[in-house]
Structure 1
């Protein structure tokens, strides 16, 4: 599995979403570095970025491969995990499977209901339309317009820098194979023997028409130390569209793990 590592200290594993690669999470890197000694481990999931799909053909197999890679790269020490979109679903599974070693869990626009037709979604909303921005993006304009809630040049540049590169190199055949078995047989919260008591963060976009925000909130009783934040003027790329607040919330989550992380 292709990894990008930055910094030293307590391992923090970062998992991107479906069809993109690790670059979508790099805008958070300097905020994480400012928060303390964290060894940031960005993974390209199988079939994404520079990681071949190999045998992986389902979310279950994806989670097992991620857990195997975590064991290898962390050497068995405690770690935190953050996931975006589909990576958030994988992160939830990892956090429960390896709970004794997990310091905390964060998801950004994380998937909580795998089947898209069963998600509780808000209506599609476009709060600021800018046709000039879309036209100026060329072929990438349609992909940006599909997701963007606020169509500004700043958000367009973030998309071009951090989202589009992963879209262009993803293995479409592997993605189609995995998409047919996109969910878990049972959700990790449903098979857990008790609540998840580590520091958690669930960041969602109020206008996210891809995964929504209500399905995350529906699990609030299970996560006894979770901060929930649903940001207005944000869609599925919430950490890019509301970057200042997203960075602050991630730093707060990291701080809440501080004493435990320092002892790892």
Structure 2
């Protein structure tokens, strides 16, 4: 499940969202720059590089496989973990299950309530549209319009580079099996109620109608070293629609862990 490893230094495990692959997390490598961290990118079972022969049928099995992969790859080495969307749910699970070894946790547009009907989400709102960009998007237009709230050239270029390859390569049969049993047993913050005291970062899109932000903010007391940031002009692809601000927050989180 290890897709790529970029850089050198302390390991930062990155877990992508549902239906995409590790490429959606590649902007992190640019944001790390010359900081003493190496990015360990995993591909989850539906990803093109991992789907062949995948037999998992629940998120519990995915979570077990992620923990096993981290343990096998890193041994006893301390690490940080960051997750996007579905990957954020897994990242929180990893951080609590391996708490003594975890330097920090970050989530980007994270799933905090697995059941869609239980999520507190805003109404669908598109903040900015550039019609020529949509007109030129071809067969990627529908997928881009469905998820994006900033529909301009920069956002579409990021979508093409980081999101679309994973969408097109995903094994929908594997995804359907996992979607039918989507939740991890127990909310990590409830299973391990003692406050998580390592530095954390939780970034949300104000216009994210997929997972929202209220459910994540409700857990802020569990993370006394946590920064919780809701960015206007961003939806579920918050780190692609607001890359400069998200990158600055990410680098500040790295600095807090370094200190």
User: TM-score range, shorter-chain basis?
Assistant: over 0.9
Q: Specify the alignment match of 1:187 in structure 2.
A: 187
User: Any gaps of 5 or more consecutive residues in structure 2?
Assistant: none
1:150 Cα offset (Å): 1.3
Task: Indicate the residue corresponding to 1:236 in structure 2.
Answer: 236
CA distance in 2, matches of 1:249, 1:28: 11
Task: Assess if the C-alpha contact under 8 Å between 1:206 and 1:233 holds in 2.
Answer: yes
Normalized against structure 2, the TM-score is what? 0.97
After superposition, give the CA deviation of every residue in 1:131-178 in whole Å (9 maximum; x if it has no partner). 321121101001000111111011111101110000000110000000
How many correspondences in the alignment? 258
* Superposition RMSD in Å: 1.0
1:49-107 superposed Cα distances (whole Å, 9 cap, x missing partner):
30126232111111110010001111221000000000000000000000010000000
- Residue of structure 1 in register with 2:172 after alignment: 172
The answer to whether residue 38 in structure 2 is matched with residue 39 in structure 1 is: yes
SS of the residue 1:257 aligns to: helix
Correspondence for 2:211: 211
Aligned 8 A contact 1:126 1:150 in 2: yes
1:257 is matched with 257
- Equivalent position SS for 1:112: coil
Q: CA deviation at 1:193?
A: 4.2
Residue pair 1:206, 1:230 contacting (<8 A) in 2 also: yes
| Matching of residues 85-234 of structure 1 within 5 Å | 85-234=85-234
Which SS does the other structure have where 2:13 is aligned? strand
How big is the shift at 1:24?
Answer: 0.5
> Structure 1 length as normaliser, TM-score?
0.95
Q: Is the 8 A contact 2:208 2:234 kept in 1?
A: yes
- Deviations along 1:179-220, one digit per CA (max 9) or x if unpaired, are 011112210101104111110000000000000011100100
CA distance in 2, matches of 1:49, 1:101: 30
Counterparts of 1:55 and 1:255, CA distance in 2: 39
- Runs (4 or more) in structure 1 with deviation over 3 Å come to none
